[in-house]
Structure formats: structure tokens, C-alpha cells
Amino acid sequence: MSETKKENKKLKSGHIELIFISTGICLIISIWVLFPRYLFWKDSPPPEQITQIIIPYKPGVIPKTEPTVPKSEDEETEKTQFQAIGDQFGAFGDSYGSLNTLFSGLAFAFLVASLYLQRKELQAQRVEIADQKEEIKRGNDIADGQRIITQQQADLIQEQITESQKQNFYSQLFKFLDEKNRKASSLSFRYNYEDLHSHSGEEFFKAFSLDLTRALKLPVHGFRPPYADLSAKALLVTIIQDKYKNVSDSTRANFEENLYFEYFIFIFDFIDKNPHHIDLNVVVDTFLSYLTQHETLCMAFYAVIKSEKLVSYIEKFSLLKKLNLESLDKYVVNGLKTLFTERAFSAAEPEDISFILKKNSP
């Protein structure tokens, strides 16, 4: 309703202005037509004057009539008031100037009309500019809304992609863990004597870990060259390596046959390449939940004698943090802490300095 009222008001105002312009043009033309009549009316001759009859004193003389006002000697006829003005200020036609008056009036009328048209055009331009501004504003609002919707859609798609990546990651991870369990169940001892019981699975890891932990209980001092020249860590690695060889030879079994711990490295590579859309701590804890105490010890021993890359993953992911150190002999614990840094047994400190303030606080 408000828009309709505004349009009606604009139309009414335009009609009133056209009426005023038309009235002004008609008035100019009327003045131009009536002005000469007014001049002729004002220039009409004066009424006849009463003449005097002069009777002569002499008989036989013809009577004469004379006006009361004698004529001028220089003029043959009496001039009117406007004629006198014309003689004084110029010709009668120049004093009228009707043609100039018409053109001047029409020029003024056209000037007023052109000003009116310009005003209407400027009004229309202002209205058009205002409409364009409003349209641009609406377009910007629509564009902002579309950008918001697009961003929301992009976020939703990204969330779906991330969720899909998570699902795919965990699906692959559990497949790898199932394959790890299959490989673990295939590990077994093959003794030279048929009457001896063959160990497999957890018994296999237990037998290996018990034999290898005994190597950590040996004294690291008093060895003859070349062992005497080695550091404590290098000496422990040498002792474990010799012990592992002896056990493998006597049982005709080892971890290299089915690449058991190499498969661990493959799994850790897979985890390490997908850190952005997963909770790394949850993934590592999930992996460690599939390891037993003896299997974890075998992984640590195998890493120090066979694979530096596996050692780096043990340090990086704190893969020894689930070990029950209280159930182990103190010599074994000291030997493990000689072979690995503290990070292998616990998660890394946070990167901010808040933990420093907590430690220094009373």
C-alpha cells in the first residue's frame, strides 16, 4: 500500500506541474494577443470638442467655426498622447515590440519547460540510482547469504570427508591388527627333539622375553676385550643380540620368518602418514591394547638389535608406556631405561610452558 500511495503522489505532483506550465504558456499567448487591442483602446481619439461660432461685425462676412484650442502652427493635425510618446521615445512600432515579446515569452516558457523536464529527468535518475543501490544491496545480501551457505556446505563436506577418512583409517587399522594377530598365532618353536612341546602364540613371546630379559641381568662390568671397550648401552645390545641368536638356533624359530616386527613398522608408517584427521593417542592406545607384556618386551629387544626405525617409532609413540615395570626385575628396568629414553615410557610433555610453572610452583 505504501508503494502505491507514493506512485499516486508522484503522478499527482507531475500533473499539477504540467497544468502550471500550460497555464503559463496560455497566459503569455493571451497577453501577446490582447496587448495590441489594449494599445488601440488606449490610443482612441479624444471626443470632439465644442466649437465656437464667431459672428463678424461686418455684414456679408461668412461665419467661421473655430475650436476652443487653436492648432499648432507646425502640425497639420492634433496628435494623440501615445503619438506624442512615440515622437519623443521612438517609433510606435519600436515601443510595442510585440514580436520580441512573443519570442521572449515563448523562450521563457520553453526554458521553464526544459527546467521542468530536467528536474523530472534528475528525479527519475535519482530514483533509478536509489533502486540500483537497493538492488545492489539486496544482491550483496544474497551474495553474503550464498557465501555463508557455500561455506557451510564446504564445512559439511569437509566434515564428511574427514569422517570418511577416519572411518577408512580405522577400518584399515583394524584389518592390519587382525593380520598382526594372525602372524602372531603362526609363530612357533620347532625343537630338534620331537618329544619337546612346541610353543606358539603368547607362549612363543613369553619364552623369548624370559630368555632375553635374563641377558639384562648379567653384569655389564668385568668383560674381556672387545666387550670391555663398549659403552653400557652398546654392551647390552651385544649381549641381547648374542642371546637372541642362541635362542633362535636352539628353537629353530625367529621373528624374521614371517616379518612380524617389520609388519609393526608398516602399521606405524600408516599411522604416521595420517596424523591430521585422527586422535593419535587413541590410535596408539588401540594398538597397544593388542600387545601383551611379553610381546612388548620382544618388540623392544628386537628393535635394539635389528631395526633402528622401530626404535624411533618406540620413542615417538611411547610404545613402552603400557609395560608393567613393577612386575619386572630392577636390573631389567634399568637395562630398558639404558636402551631407551624416558619418552619411550611416557607421553611427551606439552609444548607450552605451563608444565614448567606447575613443576616450579610450591
Same-domain check for residues 104 and 197: no
Range from 42-51, 70-79, 310-319 that averages highest in pLDDT:
310-319
Q: In terms of Cα–Cα distance, which of 218, 217, 214, 208 is closest to 294?
A: 208
Residue located via cell numbers 503522489? 9
Domain finish residue from 163, 179, 213: 163
SS3 13: helix
Residues 148 and 201 in one domain: no
Beta carbons of 290 and 180 less than 8 angstroms apart? yes
What is residue 54's DSSP assignment? E
**154 and 196 both lie in a single domain:** no
Q: For residue 169, tell me if it sits in a domain.
A: no
Residue 27 lies in a domain: yes
Asked if residue 56 belongs to a domain, the reply is no
Q: Quote the percentage of the chain above a pLDDT of 90.
A: 24
Is 72 within the bounds of a domain? no
Q: Which of helix, strand or coil describes residue 40?
A: helix
How many residues make up the chain in this entry? 362
> Is there a contact between 325 and 299 (Cβ–Cβ < 8 Å)?
no
Residue 36 lies in a domain: yes
Q: Clarify whether residues 347 and 211 are in a common domain.
A: yes
Query: Would you place residue 308 in the very low, low, confident or very high pLDDT band (cuts 50, 70, 90)?
Result: very high
Q: What is d(CA 26, CA 32) in angstroms, rounded to the nearest whole number?
A: 10
Give the chain's count of helices (H) and strands (E): 12, 2
pLDDT at 279 over 90: no
pLDDT tens-digit profile of 208-230? 888 888 888 765 544 444 555 56
Beta-bridge partner residues of 335: none
Nearest to 292 by CA among 196, 181, 178: 181
* Same domain, yes or no: 147 and 195: no
State the pLDDT at residue 299. Answer: 94
Looking at the structure, do residues 351 and 205 belong to the same domain, yes or no? yes
* 12 C-beta neighbours (distance < 10 Å), count: 10
d(CA 73, CA 82): 20
Of all helices (H) and strands (E), which one includes residue 295? helix 293-306
Q: Are residues 143 and 219 in the same domain?
A: no
Cβ contacts of 244 within 8 Å, gap of 6 or more: 208, 212, 254, 301, 302, 305
Range of the domain at 308: 187-360
Residue that finishes a domain, picked among 163, 178, 207:
163
Alpha-carbon distance values, 96 to 22, 91, 92, 126, 300 (Å): 25, 9, 6, 45, 127
Mean pLDDT of the chain: 77
CA distance 187 to 294: 14
Q: How many domains does the chain have?
A: 2
**Would residue 52 count as lying in a domain?**
no
CA dihedral for 176, 177, 180, 182, sign (positive or negative): negative
Q: Are residues 296 and 333 in the same domain?
A: yes
Same domain, yes or no: 159 and 196: no
Matching residue, cell 544491496: 137
**Among 148, 163, 178, residue at a domain's last position:** 163
pLDDT digits (tens, 9 = 90+) for 104-158: 877 887 888 888 888 888 888 888 898 899 889 888 999 999 999 999 999 999 8
The yes-or-no verdict on residue 54 having pLDDT over 60 is no
Specify whether 159 is located in the same domain as 191.
no
Q: With 90 as the cut, is the pLDDT of residue 175 above it? A: yes
pLDDT of 55 > 70? The answer is no
Question: Percent helix, strand and coil across the chain, each rounded to 5?
Answer: 70, 5, 30
Same domain, 281 and 337: yes
Examine residue 128 and state whether it is found in any structural domain, yes or no. yes
Residues 135 and 194 in one domain: no
Residue 177 lies in a domain: no
The pLDDT value recorded for residue 173 is 92
Classify residue 313 as exposed, middle or buried by CB count within 10 Å of its CB (0-12, 13-18, 19+): buried
User: What band does 270 get if pLDDT is binned at 50, 70 and 90?
Assistant: very high
- Rounded to two decimals, the pTM is 0.57
Give the pLDDT score at 300: 94
pLDDT value for 326? 87
* Contacts made by residues 71-74, CB under 8 angstroms, sequence distance 24+: none
